[in-house]
Amino acid sequence: MPRHRLLSLLNEGTKYPLTLCVASSGWGKGTLLTSWANHTDKHVSWLQVDESDNEVAMFYQKLASSLLAMLSKQDYQSDPPPGASSLDLAWTLEQVSHITGDHVLILNDYHLVSNPEVHEAVIALIRWAPPSLHLIISSESTPPFPLSSFRAHSQLFEISALDLAFTRGDLRLLLRENLIDLKETSVERLMDLTGGWPAALHLALLQIKRIDPEDRDDFVSNIGARDRRITEWLNDAIYDTLPSRIRTFMLDTCILNEFSAPLCDTVRSTDDSGEYIVWLKDRGLISPVDDQGTTFAYPKLLRAFLRDQFSRTSDLAHEKDLWQKAAAWYQKRGELLLAAEYHMASGDTTAGWLLLDRYHSHALESAPSISPQKTRLTWYREFLSWPDSVLAQEPDLCLSAAFSSYYSKDLDHIERPLRLAEQAFLARDDKPALGRAHAIRSLVYRYRGSADLAIDEGKHALDNLPTDLNWFRGSALLSQSFGFYLNGDAGSSAQCAAEARSEFVKAHDNRHAAIAETQHIEVLLLQGSLIEAEERSLALLELQSNALDAERRLARAILGFIAFERNHLNEAEVHFNTALYPSPNAQKGKYLPFAYIGLAEVAAARSDIDTSLMLLNEAEQYAAPRPERNWSAYIQGVKAKVLLEQGDHSEAAKVLYPQGSIVETPLQGTTSFMSFIIAQRTLLAFALEDANRQDIMNMAKRQLERSLVLFDANSAAIWCLSARALLGCIYFKLGQREQALRSIEYSLALAEKEQIVRSVIAAGDILKPLLELAVAQDVHPAYAQSLIHALECRPKRSKADTDEALPVLSEREVEILEMIARGSTTETISQQLYISVHTVRTHIRNTLQKLDAHSRVEAVENARERGILPR
């Protein structure tokens, strides 16, 4: 598979005398150089190094042959003198200084050279080579060259294992070229296991190809270092080729999740670990996990292999000693959670629990933000293996276990320790501790989307918590806010969100303060307060902490919805794509389904229904692992809305009424509000289509009138606006002009104040005569006229459009197809158009479907045949 990013790196490297590519076996050095040699317009000579090249005469003969092969007869300046090889080298360098044109000499597998004289010859070549000659050295180890001097004089370009590693984009392209379709979670797992190690990915793909397509995702979820092919390759190509001292170091340090030189020195009782770490880093066998480049980790597949080797060759006493030294190192640094983890691993559970008790006695008082590092700890599972009679004696540790279980999203283990803790706290009348337990339980119900239970548990928590336990008070209030929001009570939700943010600020927890703020902003949208929501979202974007990435992306998606409501479709699309791109956490964040839903709404507003429905399918994929709300019902409501806006009310009805008969739509919280409004629009469309269906119009009228009471009581102004606009249309159709005007006046007043467009014109063409009446009666005439204009400018897709011979591609699809025709990859398109890779893939799938093509090449050819692209 051509890797254009790396080919570009090699092209850049030819501006320097030497390109040094160092990585261990399996990183694709030789494959890359072969591909580059076949693509470059430079003259390339290839010298394959082997162990015989440690004989100076043998190496020089091969080197001289490769260099002199670059010379034309006119380039020779003198005849070769007889004598020693040193004279031959000098003469060869003299001849090479006269070569013309761009020439590249590749020395592959240079790590096989150990003779200092050979190294000196190559160093001389680097120093005295003419500008027209460039040297590329590929090696599994760093050669003993004066690299610092080369760097200082701009003579060196370096390519490391980090550069050679597959990116997620590379992997997706590789999967596509191998006709392997995997879920995004499976792609993430492969990247997580291999760290982008090309050979490991290749072996994994060989295994995946042997699996039935429907079982491949399950296979990937269970793949590991125990797979025979992977184990054999790790053993034969990596482990057995390493010096014994390196193998010993790797076995002693593979017990560590992450490691630094000081930690390794402590565990090994030595002071030379830094040298080993540099050796392993140079070969790509470890990679840095921090910005400073001082902490490292093994790729997970390699670490699992090493752990297996360690368990076979090491005795238990040695293993326990390593664990305990690691625990002591972390404990001395005050990192109690990691110290506890290593104590637990060593079998010293008592020491581990004592440290956990010390940590959580403080953590449960202030409850700082839980970092990803802390959530990896699974000590509580071992703790919970004890019977209730033992756990009941440790209610504080039970609460700690519940706390850890929640932040590990391991909710199956949370109920038992919470119950035991609550019983003990009630027995000793410990209200603060009981309040903490209720707060944790409220978070669980919030995560599960149980609105009423989250509200109730939050209330119990607040009734028991003292005012200084700010973090737990904030958590209880946040759970209540979410519960009220799900129930449609915007007023109560906004109040709780504001109070939650205040509590988190007092607790110095910026991340949860930002979560509470995004919750408040969502409520503001429900209240129709777009201007304030916009101001707060822009303020969130100013926060620079990496820990707030998901909250900033959600704020960006909210800005997209605000722009969409104002009918600024291009601006909305930019916001939604910015929220998605580039996304480091492919499965994390509420912004993912929100942003895809927003893009679907934009596509529908442009009458691109196929793209819209595909984007909604993407939204469903990312919503599936998020249980905090009924995403399925919400997305189904949007699907019905998309179909309805294209005039297909029959298909919309199938989505809304899967049982096959039209029934009254219940109002059961925020998620149902949109479906309710869409249902009334659908009923109205049926009534307008069939004059004999007055009963349907009356049903819609009756339901809308009832809904206004609920919307008003819960401050859900945005839905009140939509309901009154629809109700006004019905009154107008029934000849009740005064009631129609009163109804639309409310909608126009709020819409004009907040610059709302889409929620009003969503009523459709039936709204136009009512707006014209509003203009004539001087009811917000200017804004009513602007809405008439927006209605008239909506693109429409008639039935004839779906039957025409030529496929209708959107402007974006044509733009992407043109880039594909020019040879652009998905990653390149994503970067140049500043949209997410997922969005590019969706557009490409949509285009292939419309053009009845099975590949990009076929799509381009079909487009040219049909005149969509020029030939």
> Taking 90 as the threshold, does the pLDDT of residue 268 lie above it?
yes
Residue 40 lies in a domain: yes
Quick: pLDDT tens for 724-745.
998 898 888 888 999 999 999 9
List the single range of 570-579, 692-701, 759-768 with lowest mean pLDDT: 692-701
Hey, what are 569's tokens?
A: 């479709």
216 and 68 within one domain: no
194 and 101 within one domain: no
Mean pLDDT highest for which of 356-370, 372-386, 564-578?
564-578
299 within 8 A of 195, measured Cβ to Cβ: yes
132 and 106 within one domain: yes
500 within 8 A of 484, measured Cβ to Cβ: no
Residue 721 lies in a domain: no
The residue from 116, 134, 164 where one domain ends is 164
> Taking 60 as the threshold, does the pLDDT of residue 722 lie above it?
yes
Given pLDDT bands bounded at 50, 70 and 90, which one contains residue 628?
low
Residue 816 lies in a domain: yes
180 and 43 within one domain: no
pTM of the full structure: 0.57
Residue 198 lies in a domain: yes
Q: CA 138 to CA 31: how far, in whole Å?
A: 11
Written in H, E and C, the secondary structure of 751-766 is HHHHCCCHHHHCCCHH
> Taking 70 as the threshold, does the pLDDT of residue 338 lie above it?
yes
- More confident of the two residues 245 and 67: 245
- More confident of the two residues 768 and 359: 768
144 and 184 within one domain: no
CA angle 741, 742, 748 (to 5 degrees): 80
Q: Which residues pair with 457 in a beta bridge?
A: none
pLDDT of residue 652: 75
Peptide bond into 262 cis (omega under 30): no
Hey, what are 248's tokens?
A: 């010993």
pLDDT of residue 692: 63
Residue 133 lies in a domain: yes
Residue 679 lies in a domain: no
Mean pLDDT highest for which of 251-260, 691-700, 818-827?
251-260
187 and 146 within one domain: no
The DSSP bridge pattern shows strands 133-139 and 156-159 to be unpaired
The residue from 149, 164, 179 where one domain ends is 164
Quick: pLDDT tens for 71-112.
655 555 555 555 544 446 666 777 777 777 788 999 999 999
Average the pLDDT over 470-479 and give the result: 93
- Could you list the residue range(s) of the whole structural domain that residue 124 is in? 4-164
Given pLDDT bands bounded at 50, 70 and 90, which one contains residue 443?
very high
Quick: pLDDT tens for 47-59.
999 888 888 888 8
Given pLDDT bands bounded at 50, 70 and 90, which one contains residue 41?
confident
217 and 78 within one domain: no
Percentage with pLDDT > 90 across the chain: 26
pLDDT of residue 79: 56
pLDDT of residue 674: 62
The residue from 120, 147, 164 where one domain ends is 164
> How many distinct helices (H) and strands (E) make up the chain?
48, 7
Q: Tell me 780's DSSP state.
A: S
Residue 819 lies in a domain: yes
Question: Which DSSP string do the residues of 133-172 spell out, in sequence order?
Answer: EEEEEEESS--SS-HHHHHHTT-EEEE-HHHHSPPHHHHH
Q: CA 611 to CA 602: how far, in whole Å?
A: 10
30 and 135 within one domain: yes
Q: Tell me 295's DSSP state.
A: -
Quick: pLDDT tens for 280-316.
887 878 888 776 778 998 888 888 889 888 988 888 8
The greatest distance separating any two alpha carbons of the chain, rounded to the nearest whole angstrom, comes to: 113
148 and 173 within one domain: no
629 within 8 A of 485, measured Cβ to Cβ: no
pLDDT of residue 2: 64
120 and 38 within one domain: yes
- More confident of the two residues 769 and 92: 769
Q: Which of 520, 517, 598 is nearest to 551 (CA)?
A: 517
Mean pLDDT highest for which of 24-28, 147-151, 382-386?
147-151
Average the pLDDT over 161-171 and give the result: 83
pLDDT of residue 661: 65
Q: Which of 162, 92, 76 is nearest to 129 (CA)?
A: 92
> Taking 70 as the threshold, does the pLDDT of residue 60 lie above it?
yes
Q: Where are the beta strands (DSSP E) in 524-583?
A: none
Average the pLDDT over 490-513 and give the result: 91
Quick: pLDDT tens for 706-719.
888 888 887 888 88
Residue 864, number of CB atoms within 10 A of its CB: 14
C-alpha separations of 77 from 65, 72, 95, 96, 839 in Å: 16, 11, 6, 10, 60
Average the pLDDT over 666-673 and give the result: 61
C-alpha separations of 309 from 256, 257, 312, 636 in Å: 15, 16, 5, 51
> Taking 90 as the threshold, does the pLDDT of residue 207 lie above it?
no
The DSSP bridge pattern shows strands 18-22 and 133-139 to be parallel
Each residue of 292-327: b (16+ CB within 10 Å) or e? eeeebbbbbbbbbbbebbbeeeeeeeebebbbbbbb
- More confident of the two residues 540 and 170: 540
> Taking 60 as the threshold, does the pLDDT of residue 594 lie above it?
yes
675 within 8 A of 652, measured Cβ to Cβ: no
Hey, what are 212's tokens?
A: 């039935």
107 and 214 within one domain: no
- More confident of the two residues 110 and 798: 110
Q: What's the domain count of the chain?
A: 3
> Taking 70 as the threshold, does the pLDDT of residue 805 lie above it?
no
Q: CA 440 to CA 398: how far, in whole Å?
A: 12
Q: Which residues pair with 139 in a beta bridge?
A: 22
Q: For the domain that residue 32 is a member of, what is the CATH number?
A: 3.40.50.300
Each residue of 96-115: b (16+ CB within 10 Å) or e? beebeeebbbbbbbbbbbee
Quick: pLDDT tens for 221-258.
777 655 677 788 788 878 888 899 999 999 999 999 89
37 and 176 within one domain: no
Q: For the domain that residue 815 is a member of, what is the CATH number?
A: 1.10.10.10
Quick: pLDDT tens for 631-640.
777 788 788 8
Each residue of 163-185: b (16+ CB within 10 Å) or e? ebbbebbbbbbbbbeeebebebb
629 within 8 A of 483, measured Cβ to Cβ: no
Q: Tell me 236's DSSP state.
A: I
Residue 75 lies in a domain: yes
